[in-house]
Amino acid sequence: MDASSHRPAGAPPAAEAAWALLGSKPGKVFAMHIGYAARAAQKGRTPEAPGFFLKPATSLSTGGEAEVPAGTAIFGFEGEIAIVIGRHARRVDEADAWSHVAAVTAANDLGVFDLRWVDKGANLRSKGGDGMTPIGPVLLPAERLDPAAIEVRTWLDGELVQADSTSTLIFSLPQIVSDLSQLITLEPGDVILTGTPADASTFFPGQRVEVEVTATALDGEQLATGRLVTTLRVGEHQLPPYSAQPKPTPEQWADASGRPIAEFQAPAAPVLDDELRAQLSQVALATLSSGLRKRGLNNVSIDGLRTTQPGKRLVGTARTLRYVPNREDLFKTHGGGYNAQKRLFDSLQPGEVVVIEARGDNRSGTLGDILALRARHLGAAGLITDGGVRDLDVVTEIGVPTYHAGGHPAVLGRLHVPWSFDETIACGGATVQPGDIVVGDGDGVLVIPPGIARELVDEAMQQEREEEFIAAQVDAGHPVDGLFPMNAEWRARYEASIADAGDA
């Protein structure tokens, strides 16, 4: 059948190629929610019955570059087996269902997961866009195949990431066809995506996803679709304000990637309450450093940095960001779009401090005025980087205390790739973990493990009271011998003065 006879004016060229492969424009494209047992185990739920959603025929393509809207960030791949209906099927039983299938091919059920919030399970926006259903490149004749012995594999940048067989489907391919036909007439050319195996995950613009379906024919011949190749590009088209806008939530990141939600959530509520923050704002950094040394912590200072706000104390809870040395292919996949840097800054909470690992390399900016403005708007307590700061004069005017290794006009991609956030990093020679308490002033920056912060500050305040007493005695003319440090006699006088102050 000539696909051009079914081609509406203005149909996407990518869809036309898919319709040509199928022989006509399909009337319906179905996709299954959960198909494989291993996928169900990974999701933590096994369906009682087959579940489907619909995709537009214009979402079909034969692979190549798929374009997603500007501002979106969470992109998922799902390698699948697609079946193509060959004969009308209405209320067919399981035993007869496979005879209504014309062909089998590979498919990639692409998704833009930060648009899923508005779909309410329909997946229309997240999976229905033009080019979001690549199929092909070759159709395998269904009559030559055992529907329980078809395999699918998916590769990401050449690494095998998904592999399974229809022998492990929760509902067999004939059951899937039979089930759909009970309520909906299946017509020649209709396409059914039969679910993805375990380990579907996220990918980034520039990465290459390949899906292939293989089978041993009933006569023993090895059949294969060849690899269906898809890449991704974030387009320039902005969704209008009345359209659903991207919402890259931790839940969607976890669902798309198959990784624990904790990896995408901000750290738990910090121990740094208002009282502790006020105390840390008063105690000298030198006193805190002394207390840390008494506890065997000698490598907790972030060294070699200067501040944009001399005389202003910085106290906050660490949020960490790690840059790796620039490699052009990695910057292409991790540097653009809604990268780790932007995700961290957008998730800042009041009182948090961004701490950046830039390997001490200040020959490029690691943040600039836009990010500093975002940090100020969200109530961040400060910014710390052992790399350079772009727009340094403007960042200084913005007023968020920023510790840095110097100004530099170059953009991020010259030396750094924003790789990850909220993990253990190294900054200025110190190890910093998310949730650590960071205190800084003109003497430098200290990193305080939160578990010892309260006892440390109590001890530091006690030490400073003693030093104030010693300083007053020295100012009154007493010699330092026996006073600094205090001997038993002076210790008794000090305690008496404390008691007198309490009585007063």
CA distance 181 to 214: 26
CA distance 79 to 106: 7
114-132: burial string, b at 16+ Cβ within 10 Å, e else: bbbbebeeebbbbbbbbbb
pLDDT band for position 332 (50/70/90)? confident
pLDDT digits (tens, 9 = 90+) for 457-487: 999 888 888 888 998 999 999 998 988 888 9
Q: Which residues are annotated as a binding site?
A: 368-371, 390-391
DSSP tag of 237: P
- With respect to residue 494, please indicate whether it lies within any of the assigned structural domains: no
- Residue 100, amino acid: H
Across the range 135-157, mean pLDDT stands at: 97
- With respect to residue 148, please indicate whether it lies within any of the assigned structural domains: yes
For residue 346, give the nearest of 381, 305, 310, 377 by alpha carbon.
377
Residue 84 has pLDDT above 50, yes or no: yes
State residue 335's pLDDT score.
Answer: 85
- With respect to residue 334, please indicate whether it lies within any of the assigned structural domains: yes
Across the range 270-280, mean pLDDT stands at: 87
Same domain, 206 and 313: no
Residue at which a domain ends, from 448, 472, 492: 448
Same domain, 24 and 153: yes
Measured CA distances, 427 to 384, 402, 459 (Å): 8, 14, 27
Same domain, 225 and 370: no
Strand bridging mode 133-141 / 60-61: parallel
State residue 424's pLDDT score.
Answer: 94
Supply the CATH number for residue 194's domain: 3.90.850.10
- With respect to residue 335, please indicate whether it lies within any of the assigned structural domains: yes
CA distance 465 to 484: 13
Sequence-separated (6 or more) residues with CB below 8 Å from residue 248: 73, 74, 113, 114, 338, 343
Same domain, 207 and 311: no
| Biggest CA pair distance of the chain | 107
pLDDT band for position 268 (50/70/90)? low
- With respect to residue 327, please indicate whether it lies within any of the assigned structural domains: yes
Supply the CATH number for residue 325's domain: 3.50.30.40
CB 122 within 8 A of CB 129: no
- With respect to residue 486, please indicate whether it lies within any of the assigned structural domains: no
Q: Which residues are annotated as a binding site for substrate?
A: 368-371, 390
Residue at which a domain ends, from 230, 257, 284: 257
pLDDT digits (tens, 9 = 90+) for 399-439: 999 999 999 999 887 899 999 999 999 999 999 999 999 99
CB 315 within 8 A of CB 48: no
Same domain, 81 and 151: yes
Same domain, 243 and 306: no
CA distance 401 to 220: 71
Residue at which a domain ends, from 257, 292, 326: 257
The domain in which residue 208 lies consists of 13-257
DSSP E strand stretches across 267-351: 301-302, 306-307, 314-325
Sequence-separated (6 or more) residues with CB below 8 Å from residue 41: 198
Domain count, the chain: 2
Same domain, 171 and 63: yes
State residue 2's pLDDT score.
Answer: 43
Q: Which residues are annotated as a binding site for Mg(2+)?
A: 391
Helices (H), 12-140: 13-22, 37-43, 94-97, 124-127
pLDDT digits (tens, 9 = 90+) for 207-248: 999 999 999 999 999 999 999 999 999 888 888 988 989 988
- With respect to residue 271, please indicate whether it lies within any of the assigned structural domains: no
Same domain, 25 and 163: yes
State residue 271's pLDDT score.
Answer: 77
pLDDT digits (tens, 9 = 90+) for 358-401: 999 999 999 999 999 999 999 999 999 999 999 999 999 999 99
Sequence-separated (6 or more) residues with CB below 8 Å from residue 132: 55, 59, 66, 109, 110, 111, 112
Across the range 112-129, mean pLDDT stands at: 92
CA distance 39 to 52: 15
Measured CA distances, 37 to 34, 43, 96, 168, 169 (Å): 8, 10, 24, 6, 6
- Measure the N-to-C terminal CA separation of the chain; round to a whole number of Å: 101
Residue 337 has pLDDT above 80, yes or no: no
Same domain, 344 and 437: yes
Same domain, 160 and 36: yes
Same domain, 99 and 234: yes
State residue 210's pLDDT score.
Answer: 98
Comparing 300 with 267, which gets the higher pLDDT?
A: 300
- With respect to residue 122, please indicate whether it lies within any of the assigned structural domains: yes
State residue 502's pLDDT score.
Answer: 66
Same domain, 143 and 239: yes
CA distance 201 to 108: 12
